[in-house]
Amino acid sequence: MNATEETTAPAPSEMRAAGAVHARGRLTVFLLAVIAELRLVHWPDRRQVAAYTGVVAVFMLTAIVGIWLADAGTASLMMHLFS
């Protein structure tokens, strides 16, 4: 493949022709192509995943506590007014 060409996972037909897989059916060939495609994906590294997970966890905790407090206050007010 030319260095300037876009990196591409091999097409199922290419894989079959290249002997990468033997006659295992179209589904197997397609699933192998899916795995090959996933290898070309840019995955976030461990540090990024940890950072984002931390942020999401803090965001969720803040939202849960804040909304729970607001809801509890509103519910007691409504109960007082309408019960």
Contacts of range 71-80, beta carbons closer than 8 Å, 24 or more positions apart: none
Q: Give residues 3-22 in contact with another protein (rule: CB under 8 A).
A: 4-9, 11
22 or 39, CB closer to another protein?
39
Distance CA 83, CA 61 (A): 31
Nearest to 8 by CA among 36, 49, 28, 45: 36
19 or 45, CB closer to another protein?
45
Contact positions vs another protein (CB under 8 A): 1-2, 4-9, 11, 30-31, 33-34, 37-38, 40-44, 48-60, 63-64, 66-68, 70-71, 74-75, 78, 82-83
